[in-house]
Amino acid sequence: MRRNRNAKIVATLGPSSSDKDTIRRLFAAGVDVFRLNFSHGDEAAHRASFAILRELEREAGRPIGILADLQGPKLRVGTFAAGSVMLDESQPFRLELDTAPGDARRVGLPHPEIFAALAPGAELLLDDGKLRLIVERCGADFADTRVVAGGKLSDRKGVNVPGVLLPISALTAKDRRDLALALDLGADWIALSFVQRPEDVVEARKLIGERAAIVAKLEKPSAVEQLEAIAECADAVMVARGDLGVELPAERVPGIQKRILRTCRRLGRPVIVATQMLESMVTSPVPTRAEASDVATAIYDGADAVMLSAESAAGRYPVEAVDMMSRLITEVEGDPQYLQLMNASRPSAPAGAGAADAVCCAVRHAVALMHASAIVCYTSSGHTSLRVARERPEAPVLSLTPHLRVARRMALAWGIHSVHIEDVADVDQMTAKACAVACQEGFAQGGQTLVVIAGVPFGTPGTTNLMRIATV
């Protein structure tokens, strides 16, 4: 099933999309990578979803990526004796380690790491920023605050501490259990929530090894400050605009999104734009015009993928949301201005560029000059395909790999159509296989030109050094 677009779609599975028929329809509508949100659902539900997706993959004959999204250290207040309270502007309010049910004067906050990082003048945001508190006095087990923006506060609402680097790991005990399950089931991508520093990614890498690739979710100001270092450590990045929009002024988020996309493009890291992209389609069969423009802007800016969350997981129109996302991407990519923007925003060669970068740069020029129908890229690790995608060439990238796990991971990257094949032994076999697969997958027909790249000796990662022009 060839997708006639370059940017990819990530869709979240949930109550509205847990059965086999709906998942099949989502895939047919355009989903490239399925996200399993480990903040919800139990082990049995996740196992069932994995089984359905792998069965669907075998039926479709196309690699399907699975992204396991870990919950991360979600910080929450405790409970209230009455279930909720009203906090008035300017009133005092205490947060403390004591987890006894709270009232309008105090509530438990079972997170000593927050108190360890607070100082007078620090701001606390509750319930996704709806309530705002300023710390006036604090200690190792309490914080006396004053309410700046009041409202209703109920049990276990989230707490954000903007501008403060918290002394916590990005992996909680629950995350470690969920990670073990996801790796056991064969997840292709692991998304780390609330990454604050590069060390968070390094810690996860020690646990994951080569069993899965890592997506660093950027939703903390501290992560944005270390954007380049985090992107270097991770395999991909997600612009998680939900919590990022809570901890930063709303007017700063669009500029930060563009900065993240530019940085990831330069480093050759796939980047996903996520959160509330078609939010109104949770309850409506069509999006707002503003949402359509939001998706289009992400595509014009060069995003590798755009993501649906509640729209596909809990909404009334999950398949329609995917279909709309696919149509929006296709429309943008058909605009002549889109290609102009991709060419104008092409980053310069990375520091220390080698033979592989030179070959991939030459491929883009060859495709433009010869109007090749496709680029056929032989890859063992996926890195060559990602280098080609970084160039945003005019022709689609047919990525051939002998490793199924690599084929599945490439489902997230811009412009890459991944095929799992047996390895080739020589240049003649390489060319013949490239032509056969390109025809079989609908990328070329007799008489058309292909640009083929590979590494010699074959099957050796990091040896991309060969480009060949082939006629089908």
Cα–Cα distances in Å, from 236 out to 74, 233, 261, 262, 387?
A: 22, 9, 11, 13, 13
> Above 70 in pLDDT, residue 162?
yes
Look up residue 276 and give its two tokens: 């509330």
> Above 80 in pLDDT, residue 125?
yes
Query: Stretch 91-113: mean pLDDT, rounded?
Result: 96
Superfamily designation of domain 355-471: Pyruvate kinase, C-terminal domain (3.40.1380.20)
Sign, CA dihedral 379-381-382-387, equals negative
> Above 80 in pLDDT, residue 463?
no
pLDDT tens digits, residue range 283-319?
A: 999 999 999 999 999 999 999 999 999 999 999 999 9
**Any idea which fold 8-73+170-332 has?**
TIM Barrel (3.20.20)
pLDDT band at 356 (very low <50, low <70, confident <90, very high): confident
Q: Which residues, including other chains, have CB under 8 Å from residue 418's CB and lie 6 or more apart?
A: 63, 385, 399, 401, 406, 407, 408, 410, 411
pLDDT band at 457 (very low <50, low <70, confident <90, very high): confident
Which residue, among 102, 62, 110, 54, has the nearest Cα to 79 in the 3D structure? 102
Q: Which helix (H) or strand (E) holds 297?
A: helix 289-300
Query: Stretch 157-173: mean pLDDT, rounded?
Result: 89
Q: Please give the positions annotated as active site.
A: 35, 76, 217, 275
* In contact, 228 and 312? CB cutoff 8 Å: no
Query: Stretch 3-22: mean pLDDT, rounded?
Result: 97
Mean pLDDT (the chain) is 94
> Above 80 in pLDDT, residue 460?
no
Query: Stretch 127-154: mean pLDDT, rounded?
Result: 96
Which residue, among 417, 434, 441, has the nearest Cα to 470 in the 3D structure? 434
Look up residue 441 and give its two tokens: 């997958």
Q: Which of 46-50, 167-171, 172-176, 196-200 has the lowest mean pLDDT?
A: 167-171
**Which amino acid type is present at position 264?**
C
How much of the chain, in percent, has pLDDT values that exceed 70? 99
Predicted pLDDT at 1: 66
Domain ranges of the chain: 8-73+170-332, 84-160, 355-471
How much of the chain, in percent, has pLDDT values that exceed 90? 86
Architecture of domain 84-160: Beta Barrel (2.40)
* In contact, 407 and 399? CB cutoff 8 Å: yes
Predicted pLDDT at 130: 93
pLDDT tens digits, residue range 341-353?
A: 998 888 877 667 7
pLDDT tens digits, residue range 55-70?
A: 999 999 999 999 999 9
pLDDT tens digits, residue range 377-432?
A: 999 999 999 999 999 999 999 999 999 999 999 999 999 999 999 988 888 899 99
Predicted pLDDT at 357: 87
Q: In a 3-state reduction of DSSP, which class is residue 458?
A: coil
pLDDT tens digits, residue range 175-233?
A: 999 999 999 999 999 999 999 999 999 999 999 999 999 999 999 899 999 999 999 99
Largest distance between two CA atoms of the chain: 78
**Which amino acid type is present at position 289?**
R
DSSP 221-287: HHHHHTHHHHHHHSSEEEEEHHHHHHHS-GGGHHHHHHHHHHHHHHHT--EEEESSTTGGGGT-SS-
> Above 90 in pLDDT, residue 459?
no
Cα–Cα distance between 162 and 408 in angstroms, integer?
36
Identical fold for domains 8-73+170-332 and 355-471, yes or no, is no
